[in-house]
Structure 1
Amino acid sequence: MSQDDEFEPRLSRIRSASGRRGVKYLNRVLAVTMLARGGAALLGWRPGRFSGARKGRGAGVGRVLASRDQFSAYRQRRVIIKSRIVKLAGKGMAGARAHLRYIQRDGVTREGLPGQLYGADQDKVEGRPFLDRAEGDRHQFRFIVSAEDGDQYENLKPLVRRLMAQMEEDLGTQLDWVAVDHHNTGHPHSHVIVRGKDDRGQDLVIAREYLATGMRERAAEIISLDLGPRTDLEVQDRLRREVDQERLTSIDRRLLREVREDGVVVPMDSDPFHQALEVGRLRKLERLALADEARPGQWRLADDLEATLRAMGERGDIVKTMHQEMAAHGQVRAPDDAVIYDPGGAGARPLVGRVVSRGLSDELNDRHYLIVDATDGRLHYVDIGRGEATDPLPAAGIIRIEPRAAEVRRVDRTVTEVAVANGGRYSVDIHMRHDPSVSEAYAETHVRRLEAIRRTTGAVTREADGTWSIAPGHLDQAMAYERRQVRAAPVAVQVLSALPLERQVGTDGATWLDRELVAANPEPLRDAGFGREVREAQARRRQWLIAEELAREDDSRVVFRNGLLGILRRRELLRVADQLASELGMNYVEMRPGQPIEGTLRRVVALASDKVAVIERSRDFTLVPWRPVLDRHVGQRVSGVMRGDGISWTIGRQRGGPAVE
């Protein structure tokens, strides 16, 4: 009989009276409610447009956290969380590797050391195994967690681990993540990277509401538990500081919410402190020409108030960055000689100068900036866009920066012309039938352009038979693609010389200084800053050339020898060839135009003027002009034919291998 007392209930899913399975109880309640009210149509209700905001894990939690009472929001510690979802298809994994390198760079710890990745239960983890596990993932999540009172934490790791543990509970899955803490700014913060897979190997989809609100509220709860809620004095002190700030503040957001239908805001609040804050802020906005007192006590805000204040805040951050860089490199400039380069501004001109530093302006989106000491005597801050768009630059190298313009290319017009004449279709065969004078290689460049537009915007469609469906508005789509490319890389950066200016004065090779000395239209030089340094270096270079009998003085001017640049380049090439011959134990053979080249690409050597590739054969080697595409084929067999200053390459042993013109 004792066994009869051992009763264990086992709960199953709720079933409807009709025996239907899989129908949620809440859905049934809502359906019955709508029927009782006469249906949605009788109420005049129309279903809203699907936005996807509630799709994914954590949607319900995000809504609950976003609706907490205003008193707790007033007391809660402030946290900023920036989130980004990054696709890993195409070049995404290369970008993920670069991002890991950036967040672990030198100087991010309190001691100025490189950052160290950590995980849920280890203080030191390696980035490569994490990326190996992510191979094949559709996407990854990147977060920056920055607490307003983060400087009160001796160690941010426990805070991040508790936040990630809470996220796992909210999302109902374990997360594969790594993080690194940064203390190199005024606000300590943590970078967190989360794989785009859940614990079952399925794509991890996190609801927009949780990313936008839920994470921030969870972090604020944890910090408020650690440090206690904010006191009245802390809140009031922060708000007082906002009154005179030249950036978008919480007071501005409150004023924008209080704007009446007639476009006027009246600062009236039952709390005298908050009313005084609003009046003080409106007076500050009036001085900035962003508000106008239409009548006593009634204010009209500028239409572009929010955008202008955001831009002013960004400009303030840039100025602060420039001052820090100038102090770190001992640069002394007048206030007017430290400027922000605007490539999209009217009359924007190319910029030539020396690289002072390169940094991250937006670590989450991997946007970089350059500080350039230019020949116009000024120090320029240049937004160069995504880090992957600009190769690593030599320290103190000489570069040229040109603004990029979004414009429809000739290839886009050709595709449109061919498609219009062929029923809205394009392919290599169609193009060659339409214009028999074009080559297959030329037509394939148009296909590569279409493929790039498809991968980036999805604006064009490739059919199953290999043809492309071209819409009537293809030129507009191409223009949209170009604008997107310009946003990612607003300028083009060209390395003019990897050698610092001082080393160019006595170098036995064709330098940037030499090219400027013999140029018909040399770079204009201001007698200040880097412009003055270049003038002095050019004078010393002239004397060196005279001593080497490569130039002579004629009255008050210097006459350079004919073919100066070619002579200098050949002298350096032969000197480097002799050094390599001793190192490799092989003879150097100079190649002539029209000669075939075949051998193994061993390395790339940097000269004063450019780079050359070392092609090793069975008994000798040669030096030939380098091209960026060769970097991916070091150690492989290559063949080609010299054509003037360039080479038509074929990579690999096989016939019909990929050719590089």
Structure 2
Amino acid sequence: MPGISLETAPMTDRSEYAFRPRLGRIRSLGNAKRGRTFTSRLARAISRAGPKGRAGPRRRQRRPRIQGGRRVVVKARVVRMAGSTRAALAKHLRYISRESAMRDGEEGHVFDHASEDVDRADFATRAEDDRHHFRFIVSPEDGSEMADLKPLVRDLMSQMETDLGTRLEWVGAVHHNTAQPHAHIVLRGRRDDGRDLVLPRAYISHQIRETAEDLATRELGPETRLEQDLKLARETRAERLTKIDRSLRKLAGRDGRLTLTDTPPRYRQVNHARLKRLQQMGLADFEGGGTWRLDERLETRLRTLGERGDIIKALNRAARNSPGRRIDPDTRLAPGARLTGQIARLSAGGDFHDETLAAIDTPDGRLISARLGANVDMLHLKPGMLVTVSRKSGTARPSDRTIKTVAHANGGIYSASLHQAHDPRATPDFVSAHVRRLEVMRRLGLAERRADASWTVPDDYLERVAAIETEKAGAVPLSVQIDSHLTLAQQVKAEGLTWLDEQPETGWAHGFGADLTAARRQRWQVLQARGLAEAGQQSLSAEQSEMLKQRGMEHTGKTVADSIGKPYRALPKSGTVEGVYTATVTNGQGRHAVIEQKASFTLAPYRAVMERSRGMSISGTIKNGRVNWIFGKRRTRGLSR
């Protein structure tokens, strides 16, 4: 019975079934371990002993690394499915199948065990009801020597099917956009019998990698002693975290000290060369007698240096197409700062290549790197676009200011009752939110909880909170706003209103700034030649801007009309709109959705949330040029009438 757990008493002569009831909390299920049935405990014991059949992966004994075996890096991530995750899965599939990451001449697609071109939208739809899915990156150390990674991926997934005792549904894509060819794999979290697919930690951590290494060794043959020595020699000079560094860290004691004579004789020369290089970098000290001391932040600082090296490489690649630019890998936007520029190059970053890294060409002639995070759709960004990147401001929250106000009025003490007395309109939930905020601050050492459930708030509370928020803001990826989908050259000849038309005269004379100044001058010449601006005019009037907007939309509508064979009807400033969302189109004023009716179509401002309804009927209410959309098949009066 829930709430009561029975504890058997020792048998006595008086009663064979004596027991003592021990009451629990109301609605409590008691101790979960006691509540397990015999069947569930038996199944768990069998699973721990090594399940066979379909209950889980067949455990193989951990093998020592084969001498000469090829190394493969396998990164795994389990993603639980939720409302937003479903859209993220479709976005991830579009990302891994983009053409820019493929080998030159290859079309963007995903493959599986039998097909070279799998319908990714269909795969995402089938995975919608899964509890979770798995994402893998498989990167052989010698992948550049392999003709194609697809056979390795297919063999790896086939062996996983054997281990797990079930057919697996997966798609993959091979990327050649980095120095190390690698494969992305998305695996559904469902077995062929409909149950959830569960992979034990040890299987993900070791067995998948070991299988991939066996397959790579089988294809390329064992690694020779000369190959191993050459790889290690290159690592001794690297400004990043290497296998040698990890080995040295394991050999060192808690104080970071290690003696070179205690290292394996075969690698002693390599270790010494690496330690000398670390000493030059300020990450190791020689204490005499063959003893070295490693920096306690060795791994962190080497990872940072590796990331900086990757940034410099990306900026150098971008500079090839942007002569006269100065590479600046160390610029970091301060909290609350904004920067406008042109995208010079895009690349993928992060452990799972799911972050967007952009090389931004700034007006003062610099090339900087901006980490845009995993929430930015890389497919919607293109080199040449004009963007503004910004960092979240690191300031105290309104709740922090309220806490400080209440505490200041009560001698530095805050409590729920004092808050209620200070603001009688505050609801209990509102006050509880402030208490939770103080609990977070307590764990950071910014507040002290007293025995009577009140809080001691220091005088410099807001300043210290702002410092913490500033530090957090520095670790968050930058936000990006697309100012123009058109390049500067496209904006010069555009029919409608452009970003360039709204920019003031500047004195930039270097890099992108010089290009911007020249493009603005050419744009005004075009507008004057078309009779849309007067000679000597430096800015557009409100009437001129509105006229250019209408002209641009009419030109875009005519272009789309010629393509789909339906007449264009302008979006009214108020009323309703209804139709099927079929495509998107961009012009100088941004991105627009094509909404088709039976006999015509209209263009409406695009929103990312519309993607889930592409090909479906949508409707919306228009007010002051803005549309409040209703998705699905609900119909209202609109333009289709």
TM over 0.5: yes
Does residue 498 in structure 1 map to residue 480 in structure 2?
no
Residue matched to 1:527: 509
Q: In 1, are the aligned partners of 2:484 and 2:498 still within 8 Å (CA)? A: yes
Residue matched to 2:269: 276
CA spacing shift, 1:199–1:404, aligned 2, 3 Å:
same
Q: 2:332 aligns with which of 326, 336, 342?
A: 342
Residue matched to 1:459: none
User: In 2, distance between residues paired with 1:296 and 1:233?
Assistant: 31
Aligned residues: 551
CA spacing shift, 1:254–1:74, aligned 2, 3 Å:
farther
Q: 1:152 aligns with which of 141, 145, 158?
A: 145
Q: In 2, are the aligned partners of 1:640 and 1:650 still within 8 Å (CA)? A: no
Residue matched to 2:578: 600
Does residue 573 in structure 1 map to residue 553 in structure 2?
no
The letter of the residue matching 1:502 is: A
**Deviation of residue 502 (structure 1)?**
2.0
Q: In 2, are the aligned partners of 1:398 and 1:499 still within 8 Å (CA)? A: yes
CA displacement, residues 585-614 of structure 1 (integer Å, 9 cap, x when unaligned): 6887975xxxx5234367777553456789
CA displacement, residues 476-501 of structure 1 (integer Å, 9 cap, x when unaligned): 66999999996996111112222221
Q: In 2, are the aligned partners of 1:351 and 1:400 still within 8 Å (CA)? A: yes
Residue matched to 2:227: 234
Residue matched to 1:250: 243
CA spacing shift, 1:612–1:312, aligned 2, 3 Å:
closer
Q: In 2, are the aligned partners of 1:339 and 1:378 still within 8 Å (CA)? A: no
CA spacing shift, 1:59–1:126, aligned 2, 3 Å:
same
User: In 2, distance between residues paired with 1:258 and 1:290?
Assistant: 16
Q: In 1, are the aligned partners of 2:98 and 2:109 still within 8 Å (CA)? A: no
CA spacing shift, 1:333–1:139, aligned 2, 3 Å:
farther
User: In 1, distance between residues paired with 2:599 and 2:58?
Assistant: 69
Secondary structure of residue in 2 paired with 1:75: coil
User: In 2, distance between residues paired with 1:147 and 1:512?
Assistant: 45
Does residue 400 in structure 1 map to residue 363 in structure 2?
no
Does residue 516 in structure 1 map to residue 503 in structure 2?
yes
Q: In 1, are the aligned partners of 2:359 and 2:368 still within 8 Å (CA)? A: yes
User: In 1, distance between residues paired with 2:378 and 2:400?
Assistant: 25
Which stretch shows the higher mean deviation, 607-616 or 287-296?
Answer: 607-616
Q: In 1, are the aligned partners of 2:285 and 2:294 still within 8 Å (CA)? A: yes
Which stretch shows the higher mean deviation, 596-605 or 283-292?
Answer: 596-605
**Deviation of residue 248 (structure 1)?**
0.9
**Deviation of residue 188 (structure 1)?**
2.6
Q: In 1, are the aligned partners of 2:585 and 2:593 still within 8 Å (CA)? A: yes
Q: In 2, are the aligned partners of 1:291 and 1:301 still within 8 Å (CA)? A: yes
**Deviation of residue 616 (structure 1)?**
9.9
**Deviation of residue 360 (structure 1)?**
1.8
User: In 2, distance between residues paired with 1:178 and 1:618?
Assistant: 37
Secondary structure of residue in 2 paired with 1:190: strand
CA spacing shift, 1:279–1:403, aligned 2, 3 Å:
same
Q: In 2, are the aligned partners of 1:108 and 1:114 still within 8 Å (CA)? A: no
The letter of the residue matching 2:107 is: P
Residue matched to 1:474: 437
- In the TM superposition, what are the counterparts of 1:201-600 in structure 2 within 5 Å? 201-269=194-262, 272-327=265-320, 330-333=321-324, 336-339=326-329, 341-343=331-333, 346=334, 349-362=337-350, 364=352, 366-388=354-376, 392-393=380-381, 395-405=383-393, 409-410=397-398, 434=425, 470=433, 472-474=435-437, 490-517=477-504, 526-544=508-526, 560=538, 564-574=541-551, 576-577=553-554, 591=573, 596-600=574-578
**Deviation of residue 261 (structure 1)?**
4.4
Secondary structure of residue in 2 paired with 1:268: helix
CA spacing shift, 1:548–1:257, aligned 2, 3 Å:
same
User: In 1, distance between residues paired with 2:42 and 2:602?
Assistant: 75
**Deviation of residue 399 (structure 1)?**
1.1
The letter of the residue matching 2:338 is: P
CA spacing shift, 1:548–1:422, aligned 2, 3 Å:
farther
CA displacement, residues 181-240 of structure 1 (integer Å, 9 cap, x when unaligned): 334433332222211112332211211122112211122223333433323222222211
User: In 2, distance between residues paired with 1:406 and 1:273?
Assistant: 52
Residue matched to 1:41: none
The letter of the residue matching 1:224 is: T
CA displacement, residues 604-632 of structure 1 (integer Å, 9 cap, x when unaligned): 77553456789999999998877766776
User: In 1, distance between residues paired with 2:40 and 2:335?
Assistant: 65
The letter of the residue matching 1:238 is: K
**Deviation of residue 356 (structure 1)?**
2.3
Identity of aligned residues (%): 32
User: In 2, distance between residues paired with 1:265 and 1:620?
Assistant: 77
Which stretch shows the higher mean deviation, 251-260 or 121-130?
Answer: 121-130
User: In 2, distance between residues paired with 1:601 and 1:574?
Assistant: 24
Q: State the TM-score, normalizing by the size of structure 1.
A: 0.69
**Deviation of residue 125 (structure 1)?**
3.3
The letter of the residue matching 2:578 is: T
The letter of the residue matching 1:564 is: S
The letter of the residue matching 2:308 is: R
Q: In 2, are the aligned partners of 1:142 and 1:194 still within 8 Å (CA)? A: yes
Residue matched to 1:17: none
**Deviation of residue 535 (structure 1)?**
1.6
**Deviation of residue 300 (structure 1)?**
1.8
